[in-house]
Chains A and B, each alone.
Chain A
Amino acid sequence: MAKFDTLVATAAPMNQRDVNTDAVIPGRFLRRKREEGFGTCLFHDLRFHEDGSENDEFVLNQPAFRGAQILVADENFGCGSSRESAVFALHDYGFRCVIAPSFGDIFHNNCFKNGLLPIVLPAEQVATLRAQAGTMQGAPFTIDLAAQTVTGVDGVAHRFEIDPFRKRLLLQGVDEIDLTLSFEDKIAAFEAAR
């Protein structure tokens, strides 16, 4: 897995609660192969009209946010289905970090497997960051995983909590399967004792 340490990038605001994984990637795109990429499917039914033309009102179609690598979302982002394609779509589009007051549990887990950093901050702080992203369009945010901070365009650093295990794996770019295979003796002993 690719390492994650710091990120300086544009943030796009998404002012909607309970964005479910069906919205992140509609079910009809799930039969794509991983190697085909999922970036074009991201928020498909929000980004595009039925005729395939872009919905100019959707945040990611606005010029300032086309290259955004940070998504500042709202409560319960990524709820619903376990489809990891939702994370694939965000990753393949170019996102490396999603900030929200809370996430769907499975989506949150899936993010870490793909080097996409899900940051949980209090709702008021996220609202501030969303507002900054919206009004100071294109101005960069800074994510420092080691320091566990998100610095908005106003220079204020917001400290976030993160599972230390997940943090370690991201900083070191450790593959979970490789890590687990190093516990082969313990797994075998556990099996033998059952």
Chain B
Amino acid sequence: MKPLTLFEKIWAAHEVHRDEDGQSLLYVDRHFIHEGSRTPYKQLADRGLKVRRPDLTFAVPDHYVATTSRDFADVDGEDRKDMVASLTRNAAASGVVEYGLQDERHGIVHVMGPEQGLSLPGMLILCGDSHTSTHGAVGALAFGIGASEVGHVLATQTLWQRKPRTMRVLIEGELAPGVSGKDVVLALIAQIGVNGATGHVIEFAGSTMEALSVEGRLTVCNMAIEAGARAGMVAPDDKTFAYLRERPHAPKGEAWEAALERWRGIVTDPGAIFDREVFLDATTIEPMVTWGNRPSEAVPVTAAIPDVAAVEDPTQRGMLLAALDYMGLKAGTKLADVPVDYVFIGSCTNGRIEDFRAAAAVLRGRQVAPGVKAIAVPGSGLVRAQAEAEGLDRVFTEAGFEWRFSGCSMCLAVNGDTVPPGKRSASTSNRNFVGRQGPDARTHLVSPATAAATAIAGRFADHRALGG
């Protein structure tokens, strides 16, 4: 029998029908929805259609919610309130469980899903959000879809897709102390580019990935989309099973044992062929900082802004020069000499308990630099509660951070948490696009530990030098 990849096994297990033209109709195990589902629900209502499988659909408001409180009244503006309220109305009317603002399990969808054990190995998981690739870290096939496709899944519990190509990213070697999953994925994107994996599903493999915690893997898979990938995946292993074991929606008792047996087979067979293979030497990776307007424009925190005038391709050179201009940076300037105004720790990339522990280790006993506004936004109510149980909230607040409630917040700045024009942000989120955190805001992507060190120094700083 032909050896299969992890991806191919999951794809085959979900194929309801294959069209004569090669498209597959895939069955969806989990469909997560957020406020962006307002249009798809209207689409269904206009056609007199119902949600086919409300039991496989889970709703959570995350993009537009206030992070200063859990009070609906604090959602900023009537139009945002309507986005949040419409999700609650639509979920209730269609029998879909909602993890609402008052629910401690509330969170960013890509934090809440794995945390609740809703995301499990072998599943096909969809959500109207590009960072759905996050869930692939538990050995699932998970990817983002558009509003029309959300409507299609709501109505049919299926989706038409052409099988993407496969790519294995082999990451080998021991990470240096203080180097995180965020640094790994930024280094990868710097190596292969923002369209280096377009049209492919990435399987992240190798000793480095095996050594990473599940939360670190979630971070890596989260940013697969920033390399252009359709999805990112990691084969499930004993770490995955330990992470999932007591989760509310994980199988229990005999069902757990049966699931384990099944899940152990959801790995790439020896000899399986990938369409592309990429190698990354993890031993060379340092804490990374982006300097431009694409996640690929990243260098070690110890480095200087590169000299882009020497780039041969005129289109590329023009883009890089424009990025420097937008970011208010000059080639040759050391990152350690670049001051910041805002620091944001949170998002579906870095809003988990390990992220806050890493940042707190750097912050403990130190103060945020004068003039820096720093906010910490846990990825879920349970992350927040766990952090508080460990006393991490006090570490953050005593250092001068605001300690917020869960939500997407400053990652994409649609809830009112924005970086003002011309101000510079060190952010643990996933995109440094022009205007991403607010019109004319300047975003640099970093790990939680680097963000914490930067908040203290008031400029980009290597947390390893602080001994955190």
Chain A contacts to B: CB under 8 angstroms: 15-18, 20, 22-23, 26-28, 30-34, 45, 50, 74-76, 79-85, 87, 102-106, 109-110, 113-114, 163-165, 168, 176-177, 180-181, 183, 186-187, 190-191, 194
With the chains together, A176 CA to B47 CA distance in Å? 13
Of B21, B129, B158, the contact of A82 (CB 8 Å cutoff)? B129
Query: Given the complex, which residues of A lie within 8 Å of B413, measured CB to CB?
Result: 27-28
Evaluate contact between A79 and B228: CB separation under 8 angstroms.
yes
- 20 A-B residue pairs with Cβ-Cβ distance under 8 Å, sorted by A, are A16-B315, A23-B434, A26-B439, A27-B413, A27-B414, A31-B80, A33-B39, A34-B42, A45-B439, A74-B315, A79-B195, A79-B228, A82-B146, A87-B146, A104-B198, A163-B22, A163-B162, A176-B148, A181-B156, A191-B27
Query: Given the complex, which residues of B lie within 8 Å of A181, measured CB to CB?
Result: 155-156
- B106 CB–A CB distance under 8 Å: no
Evaluate contact between A106 and B27: CB separation under 8 angstroms.
no
User: Given A30-B36, A80-B431, A177-B47, A102–B414 Cβ distance below 8 Å?
Assistant: no
- B49 CB–A CB distance under 8 Å: yes
Query: Given the complex, which residues of B lie within 8 Å of A168, measured CB to CB?
Result: 21
Evaluate contact between B433 and A23: CB separation under 8 angstroms.
yes
Evaluate contact between B434 and A113: CB separation under 8 angstroms.
no
Query: Given the complex, which residues of B lie within 8 Å of A20, measured CB to CB?
Result: 431, 433
Of A34, A50, A106, the contact of B145 (CB 8 Å cutoff)? A106
- B152 CB–A CB distance under 8 Å: yes
In residues 135-156 of chain B, which contact A (Cβ within 8 Å)?
Answer: 143-149, 151-152, 155-156
Evaluate contact between B148 and A22: CB separation under 8 angstroms.
no
Query: Given the complex, which residues of A lie within 8 Å of B147, measured CB to CB?
Result: 84-85, 110
User: Given A34-B39, A45-B434, A79-B195, A104–B228 Cβ distance below 8 Å?
Assistant: yes
Closest-CB distance, A49 to chain B (whole angstroms):
11
Query: Given the complex, which residues of B lie within 8 Å of A76, measured CB to CB?
Result: 194-195, 198, 228
Evaluate contact between B316 and A165: CB separation under 8 angstroms.
no
Query: Given the complex, which residues of A lie within 8 Å of B421, measured CB to CB?
Result: 50
- B19 CB–A CB distance under 8 Å: yes
Evaluate contact between A22 and B228: CB separation under 8 angstroms.
no
- B342 CB–A CB distance under 8 Å: no
Chain B contacts to A: CB under 8 angstroms: 16-17, 19, 21-23, 25, 27, 36, 38-39, 42, 47, 49, 64, 79-80, 82-83, 128-130, 143-149, 151-152, 155-158, 160, 162, 164, 194-195, 198-199, 225, 228-230, 294, 315-316, 319, 412-414, 421, 431, 433-436, 439
Evaluate contact between B64 and A164: CB separation under 8 angstroms.
no
Query: Given the complex, which residues of A lie within 8 Å of B22, measured CB to CB?
Result: 163-165
Query: Given the complex, which residues of B lie within 8 Å of A85, measured CB to CB?
Result: 147
With the chains together, A23 CA to B431 CA distance in Å? 12
User: Given A26-B439, A106-B146, A113-B149, A180–B228 Cβ distance below 8 Å?
Assistant: no
Evaluate contact between B25 and A180: CB separation under 8 angstroms.
yes
Query: Given the complex, which residues of A lie within 8 Å of B162, measured CB to CB?
Result: 163, 165
Of B17, B194, B412, the contact of A18 (CB 8 Å cutoff)? B194
With the chains together, A191 CA to B319 CA distance in Å? 49
Evaluate contact between B146 and A28: CB separation under 8 angstroms.
no
Instruction: Kindly report which residue of chain A lies nearest to residue B132, judged by CB atoms.
Output: A82
User: Given A31-B80, A105-B228, A186–B17 Cβ distance below 8 Å?
Assistant: yes
Evaluate contact between B199 and A105: CB separation under 8 angstroms.
yes
Query: Given the complex, which residues of B lie within 8 Å of A32, measured CB to CB?
Result: 79
Query: Given the complex, which residues of B lie within 8 Å of A16, measured CB to CB?
Result: 315, 319
With the chains together, A82 CA to B158 CA distance in Å? 18
User: Given A27-B414, A180-B158, A82–B130 Cβ distance below 8 Å?
Assistant: yes
